Structure 1
């Protein structure tokens, strides 16, 4: 449930007080196409406080396993992400970051894709590699690796057990800016 930032326009409090200001603003706006003058920045209501929380891994892994069993989009793969409704339109766990878990069954891989968010991964379980911008990054349990923004990448589980990757992205920040992009290759 994301909400739109509530804005209160205070420009009239300044502009409407003096005819000279209104005339100058009108002149500036009329001399250029598609231009408006903001003489006083609007007020915005402060966001709700993001509350501390714990995400229980045992519940998450149970969900990931069920999702991966019958995933029509990516066979043997599941992804869950978390956000706080109190972050409003950013849809992050904090206003700038969103964490998630990826589950890759033994011998499976994710589809190649790219996005303009950067991702930092922690390998919770398993062994494999990721292809990031054509470069092979081998990983195993406990390793941390980074996928910079806008690089085509995918993850391959080479172990005999299911792999679990935990990642944190800056998608909340990009969502707030209105520029979040995701592409399958």
Structure 2
């Protein structure tokens, strides 16, 4: 026959396991934020290079209008190709010299960074909810412990470790269920944030 008691060590191990799970999720959130920031920086760099190349193209067009009919078509095409090659090199993916494809690639990079930000915000919210739930669990345990302190010399009625552990497990199960719901909602999202 097994006694219906849970040792304090076992109780602490299980609480520590919950805290480790929370810390793991928080670490994933922080790594995701670092990845998102790196993608955002790359998108901003590409957008800046695109803007610079576009400005150079506008300047070349202005110079062309200054020259009027004094420049040949081959001079204009050579200058235009130089700008397209610079933008293609900035994107670094071996693009051929199709201007429309280069602009579309820059737009997609910026959109991808936006999707990463949305996904990061969802992950951060999930981790914050888990942290708040863990804090609520600790507060509830402390409140229960304080509730059963002896009053005016009365006999104490402490809550046993078994009761605290059972409550902690029930709360952890509710947290895991909520985490599964949030994960399913995140994966069902059509914005593309659940893929990766």
Alignment TM-score > 0.5, same fold: no
TM class, shorter-chain normalised? under 0.3
Q: Which has the larger radius of gyration?
A: 2
TM-score for both structures, normalised by structure 1: 0.20
More strand by share: 1
More helix by share: 2
Q: Which has the higher contact order (CA 8 A, sep 6+)?
A: 2
TM-score for both structures, normalised by structure 2: 0.20
